[in-house]
Structure 1
Amino acid sequence: MRTLSLALASLLLLGGCGGGPDTTEDRAAAVDVLVEDLHLDYPGVVNVSPRELMSLLEEPDRVVLVDVRTDDERGVSTIPGAISRMEFESRIEDLGDRRVVAYCTIGARSSQFAREMAELGIEV
């Protein structure tokens, strides 16, 4: 069975909004609050730390990274080897038992994706 996990990666665009946190520490605290809220909103979603993800990527044939961000966001940056949600959905049967790790900017979209996959019977 596939395991669908959530990778909180690429904390992009956080500092670009006016009126937001002023220091790196303030920004980090704001992200921590967002992540904590996500845990409450999506209690069944498993988080994968960046360190865990690096370990998983040591065996690339056993993991598939799904970048659920928009095309424009993926055009700015992406984790090498990641596929889009659309590509994942078109190839889902071909991916076998590879572990699925979804990611976005903060975690809301990847958490929603994880929930949707769980509803389709993909083990979370």
Structure 2
Amino acid sequence: MVHATGWLVAHNTALLLDPDGVTWGMEARFADTQGTFANNLTNMPIWADRDGARGASQGNVTTAQAGWFVDAVEADLHLAATATQAIDQVAPLTEVSADIDGDPRAGDAAADAGADERFELPPLDYSLFLPAIVDRL
């Protein structure tokens, strides 16, 4: 963020597989810049106060690994079960009630860092469907 105030950069995922020459995943720069980086997921540091910027940082995870995602090489950055350092690790933000897919964030419980809110569907209870199938026979 540069020459901006009142911004909120929240729940983004930025994974640089080849960060050669890139020092920061996100940054705020210059004294007239003020805002907050919150609940982002990256494998690069976040520089919130470069050149006098007044950026705040909360709930960011900057240690992401390619193995935390479904298929990082193909840019499928949905969280895999291995992303335990990102799953249910941050305070939910009222400003970000849904993830990148439109799925709801955690609500009162802890949210996931980054763009994706991982959830697993409960196992299907086939006994609920058996009576309907038998009735149709």
Q: TM-score, normalised by structure 2?
A: 0.27
Greater relative CO (CA pairs within 8 A, separation 6+): 1
Q: Which has the higher strand share?
A: 2
The structure with the larger Rg is: 2
